[in-house]
Amino acid sequence: MLQILRATLQNETIQVYFCWTSFSKDGPTGDSLTISCYQNYSNFAYMFWYQQLPRSGLKLIVSSSTWSQNVYEDGYSEAKFEVKRQNTDYSLMTIKNLTPKDEATYFCAASDHTVGTKLTVMAVAIFSPSKQEIQQKSKATLVCLASGFYPDHLTLVWKVNGVKRTEGVGTDESSTKNGSTYSLTSRLRMPAWEWFNPLNRFECVASFFQNGTTQSINKFIHGDAGE
């Protein structure tokens, strides 16, 4: 049995609202079961799902935002708890391959920022192209590395002379976890002649959502004057 109770709890300090529905659901072992959560605060970009096992405290399963991938806590995965964010107000969680161990009370919550964490980017760096690539392929690849951030909510965008560049851009599909923080890499490939122009400005923009707004950290490098 998946027990889902109704209540409303407001924490004024961190602006988190818990909401859950007023009924219980049963699902046969091995089947999947979907539960929904609705909140009516349009500026709350973050939603969270929690599990409370019998005689245990709340455990965060997953956090989601309207603009980034879901972030699962250790011990939980999308293969078991699939969460779909229909829009800002609505979230669905499907619990797959039900077992007796899934018997619990499930809660959802909404917030205008991540709960209990502050997203920080420790460093954004741009690495120059390799001489070997330029000599052998007449191409130049810049690498942008954002590291030391948590949670896993970050996007990287390239700009050339202030204009967003998508051609020749390749960004890792997901962040890499390094201990308690994450890193993300993006590459910008261009003809060598474009790199050998000191008037060209190549900029990497790391953007993240915090305290209800999108914030950015920029790093730039100028083209090489050559020999």
Residue 117: the pLDDT is: 45
Q: Give the pLDDT confidence score for residue 79 in this predicted structure.
A: 94
- Do domains 2-111 and 123-222 share one topology? The answer is yes
State residue 193's pLDDT score.
95
Cα distance between residue 149 and residue 209, in whole Å: 12
CA distance 22 to 213: 33
Predicted confidence pLDDT, tens digits, the chain (227 residues): 343 333 233 333 333 344 444 345 566 778 888 888 877 766 677 788 888 787 776 678 888 877 777 888 888 999 999 998 877 778 889 999 888 888 887 877 777 655 444 555 568 889 889 888 898 999 999 999 888 777 667 889 999 999 999 999 999 888 887 777 778 889 999 999 999 999 999 999 998 766 556 778 899 999 998 75
Nearest to 220 by CA among 201, 196, 206, 207: 201
3-state secondary structure the chain: CEEECCEEEEECCCCEEEEECCEEECCCCCCCEEEEEECCCCCCCEEEEEEECCCCCEEEEEEEECCCCCEECCCCCCCCEEEEECCCCEEEEEECCCCHHHCEEEEEEEECCCCCCCCCCCEEEEECCCHHHHHHHCEEEEEEEEEEECCCCCEEEEEECCEEECCCEEECCCCEEECCEEEEEEEEEEEHHHHCCCCCEEEEEEEEEECCEEEEEEEEEECCCCC
Among candidate residues 188, 216, 184, 186, the one with its CA nearest the CA of residue 202: 188
For 206, the token pair is: 């790391």
- Tell me the C-alpha distance between 64 and 85, whole Å: 7
Does the bond joining 129 to the residue before it have cis omega, within 30 degrees of 0?
no
What pLDDT is stored for residue 121 in this prediction?
52
pLDDT at 171: 92
pTM above 0.95, yes or no: no
At residue 170, the pLDDT reads 94
Sorted by where each begins, the domain ranges of the chain are 2-111, 123-222
Query: Looking at residue 87, what is its pLDDT?
Result: 79
Neighbours of 119 (CB within 10 A): 17
What pLDDT is stored for residue 20 in this prediction?
Answer: 45
Identify the pLDDT of residue 39: 74
> Which residue bears the tokens 């669905």?
92
Tell me, what's the pLDDT at 64? 82
The CATH number given to 123-222 is 2.60.40.10
Tell the CATH topology of 2-111: Immunoglobulin-like (2.60.40)
Q: Residue 116: its pLDDT value, please?
A: 46
Rounded to whole angstroms, the Cα distance separating 87 from 35 reads: 15
Planar angle of CA 153, 156, 162, nearest 5 degrees = 140
